[in-house]
Amino acid sequence: MSPASTLSRSERQIGFGLAVALALLGLVMAAGAGHGVMAVHGTMALALGMLLVFRVGGAFYDPQPDADRLNRYYDAPTRFGITMTLIWAIIGMGVGVWVAALLYWPEATPAVPWTSFGRLRPVHTTGVIFGFGGNALIATSYYVLQRTSRTRLADSISPWFVLIGFNLFCAWAVTGYVMGSTQSKEYAEPEWYADLWLVVVWVVYFTLYIRTLARRHEPHIYVANWYYMAFILVVAMLHIVNNLALPVSFGAADSFTIWAGVQDAMIQWWYGHNAVAFFLTAGFLGMLYYFLPVRSGRPIWSYRLSIVSFWGIVFFYIWVGSHHLHYTALPYWVQTLGMTFSVMLLVPSWASAGNAIATLNGAWHKVRDDATLRFMFVAAVFYGLSTFEGSFLAIRPVNSLSHYTDWTVGHVHSGTLGWVAMIIFGAVYTLVPNISGRDTMAWPRAIEWHFWLAVGGTLVYVIALWNAGITQGLMWRAYDENGALSYSFVESVRAMAPYYLLRTLGGAMFLTGAILCALNCWATYRLTPLAQTPRDRPLGLQPAE
């Protein structure tokens, strides 16, 4: 069934109009820029707009969906979002394995500009954080918002606008990098027009969220939604401030950030660390707070604890960015504040992790038998471990050793592989059968395989890079008995080789698991018979419209 046929005739009209508008926007961009990256991006928008014109236009005279649809959840956008999640998982992690291999074997692929390490690395980070993580967040937020509010999404156009617009942003970003267009700010590399576009998408997303919440049939807003809301709001704030820039010309992908030097560094890491906090943590805690109780059949262990940890996380995280700038030209008092709050942050972080794990009390047999639930359990454990490690790394003397080394990269991936990716996979395996009207995933055994590949890959990756980072840090600061530095820099580079090789293998295991997941979802959609009785949380009674 084509997604456009889930829309009513008048909605198709709006959709058609928006598709034409997008095509025109692309045309204006391409014509205004004439050549270069922005022209390519304009052409991409034009092509996407035309595609949508044909998709919506082609379905224009299809039969209208039945009126009863308003008494069902609207899951077609979630389904699309999950598909994009899996596509980006394979792109992002595939490029991750590629750049990992380049660090072991720099001549692995020919020396051409667009696949040079420095251009591919942001393709990896953007691909996994925004493409994989972002699509998963948006898709699950629609799903969770509807179930916890027992209402249908407020309208049928804006969910598509958000998802399609967001994916256009991601596509602009990664194609821009390979063509050499970047602002160089970590996790905020896309150029000014892509940033502006994301603001538009985000405003629509927020509006949809609030409008749907307003129609809820529960007096209280469920915990998961607090976190999704914190994610939406704070990411907007961070994105706008960090990306303020003056374009060199309105016809080119070239701009200068308005911030400079030490202020730029502080704003960048205020952004950078809170991208971790509100993109890679808050949103995913929302996911955890919904899918873990649902899958285990246990209510959240402590409601009070979830309140304390929520406000703790929202308030403390914002302060910690300066721990990326220890011993630098940033004033000392700001570094100290960053360190102090980083340590305090452990309390709400562990409260969340503990709350999640305690929720499983009484369901341990399910954790043993159900690989999907095990994904979520492992996610909670890695969340606890990596927040502990994070607080530890923020302590100034520890940071003097770890900063600039692969220890940081190891830490990042214990969080992103162990926590973010695991909770996503747990959520995907829980909701895919549901949104496709099936009882289970097509291949339960493959979930088991995926689980062990993911856990194994994460451990190999993280342990290799702990060793790498600590070795590096110690070599850089080692002095011989004459008071001279013991090692040249290149000696430390050479010492990394075995760890970089191991990391590539660990990453390849993880990637293999992700591919299995994508195949399994495809098989569920295509090969599994429809369930006899749909099981879902009933909607609230709809007001007469």
Comparison of 61 and 333: residue with beta carbon closer to another protein: 333
Q: Which of 240, 126, 114 is nearest to 190 (CA)?
A: 126
112 forms part of the interface with ligand HEC (CB under 6 A): no
Instruction: Answer yes or no: are the C-beta atoms of 326 and 397 closer than 8 Å.
Output: no
Of 42, 92, 133, 321, the one binding another protein (CB under 8 A) is 321
Question: What's the rounded Cα separation, in Å, for the pair 144 and 140?
Answer: 6
482 forms part of the interface with another protein (CB under 8 A): no
Query: How many residues comprise the chain?
Result: 545
Secondary structure element (H or E) that encloses residue 247, with its range? strand 245-247
117 forms part of the interface with ligand HEC (CB under 6 A): yes
Map tokens 């997941």 to a residue.
Answer: 517
Count of residues that interact with ligand HEC, criterion CB under 6 A:
5
Question: What's the rounded Cα separation, in Å, for the pair 234 and 318?
Answer: 9
Instruction: Answer yes or no: are the C-beta atoms of 156 and 180 closer than 8 Å.
Output: no
Question: Minimum CB separation from ligand HEC for residue 118, in Å?
Answer: 4
513 forms part of the interface with ligand HEM (CB under 6 A): no
Vertex 200 angle, CA 212 and 89, to 5°: 80
For residue 363, the partner it binds in ligand HEC, another protein, ligand HEM, none, with Cβ less than 5 to 8 A by kind, is: none
Question: What's the rounded Cα separation, in Å, for the pair 387 and 353?
Answer: 9
Nearest residue to ligand HEM, scored by beta-carbon proximity: 507
With contacts defined by CB under 6 A, name the span among 59-67, 123-131, 159-167, 370-378 that binds ligand HEM.
123-131
With contacts defined by CB under 6 A, name the span among 126-134, 308-316, 487-495, 526-534 that binds ligand HEC.
487-495
Comparison of 132 and 317: residue with beta carbon closer to ligand HEM: 132
Comparison of 49 and 469: residue with beta carbon closer to ligand HEC: 469
Question: Minimum CB separation from another protein for residue 264, in Å?
Answer: 5
* String of contacts with ligand HEM for each residue 383-412, x by CB under 6 A: -------------------------xx--x
With contacts defined by CB under 8 A, name the span among 190-198, 307-315, 375-383, 416-424 that binds another protein.
307-315
For residue 485, the partner it binds in another protein, ligand HEM, ligand HEC, none, with Cβ less than 5 to 8 A by kind, is: another protein
Question: Minimum CB separation from ligand HEM for residue 124, in Å?
Answer: 5
With contacts defined by CB under 6 A, name the span among 18-26, 51-59, 129-137, 346-354 that binds ligand HEM.
129-137
Question: What's the rounded Cα separation, in Å, for the pair 153 and 136?
Answer: 17
Comparison of 97 and 198: residue with beta carbon closer to ligand HEM: 97
Q: Which of 507, 510, 501 is nearest to 106 (CA)?
A: 501
Of 86, 103, 356, 424, the one binding another protein (CB under 8 A) is 103
Of 1, 329, 490, 541, the one binding ligand HEC (CB under 6 A) is 490
Instruction: Answer yes or no: are the C-beta atoms of 87 and 511 closer than 8 Å.
Output: no
* String of contacts with ligand HEM for each residue 86-105, x by CB under 6 A: -------x--xx-xx-----
User: Looking only at residues 239 through 258 of this chain, which bind another protein when binding is defined by CB under 8 A?
Assistant: 246-249, 252, 254-258
Instruction: Answer yes or no: are the C-beta atoms of 183 and 189 closer than 8 Å.
Output: yes
510 forms part of the interface with ligand HEM (CB under 6 A): yes
Question: Minimum CB separation from ligand HEM for residue 73, in Å?
Answer: 27
Q: What is the DSSP letter of 438?
A: -
Instruction: Answer yes or no: are the C-beta atoms of 69 and 11 closer than 8 Å.
Output: no
Map tokens 């629609």 to a residue.
Answer: 142
Question: Minimum CB separation from another protein for residue 6, in Å?
Answer: 26
Of 6, 85, 125, 135, the one binding ligand HEM (CB under 6 A) is 125
Q: Phi and psi at residue 155, in whole multiples of 5°? A: -150, 175
> Tell me, what amino acid is at 142?
Y
Count of residues that interact with ligand HEM, criterion CB under 6 A:
23
144 Rama class: left (phi>0) / alpha (psi -120 to 50) / beta: alpha
Question: What's the rounded Cα separation, in Å, for the pair 120 and 496?
Answer: 20
Q: Which of 181, 3, 21, 93 is nearest to 421 (CA)?
A: 93
Residues near 307 by Cβ (< 8 Å), separated by ≥ 6?
Answer: none
For residue 182, the partner it binds in ligand HEC, another protein, ligand HEM, none, with Cβ less than 5 to 8 A by kind, is: another protein
User: Looking only at residues 373 through 412 of this chain, which bind another protein when binding is defined by CB under 8 A?
Assistant: 400, 403-405, 408-409
Instruction: Answer yes or no: are the C-beta atoms of 414 and 458 closer than 8 Å.
Output: yes
For residue 413, the partner it binds in another protein, ligand HEM, ligand HEC, none, with Cβ less than 5 to 8 A by kind, is: ligand HEM
Q: Phi and psi at residue 437, in whole multiples of 5°? A: 70, 30
Q: What is the DSSP letter of 293?
A: H
> Tell me, what amino acid is at 293?
P
User: Looking only at residues 120 through 149 of this chain, which bind another protein when binding is defined by CB under 8 A?
Assistant: 121-122
Question: Minimum CB separation from ligand HEC for residue 102, in Å?
Answer: 7
Of 12, 41, 119, 121, the one binding ligand HEM (CB under 6 A) is 121
Q: Which of 130, 243, 112 is nearest to 178 (CA)?
A: 112
Of 37, 252, 421, 442, the one binding ligand HEM (CB under 6 A) is 421
Map tokens 């080692």 to a residue.
Answer: 478
Secondary structure element (H or E) that encloses residue 245, with its range? strand 245-247
210 forms part of the interface with another protein (CB under 8 A): yes
Residues near 86 by Cβ (< 8 Å), separated by ≥ 6?
Answer: 428, 514, 517, 518, 521
Question: Minimum CB separation from ligand HEC for residue 509, in Å?
Answer: 23
Contact residues: ligand HEC, CB under 6 A = 117-118, 489-490, 493
Contact residues: ligand HEM, CB under 6 A = 93, 96-97, 99-100, 121, 124-125, 128-129, 132-133, 408-409, 412-413, 416-417, 420-421, 507, 510-511
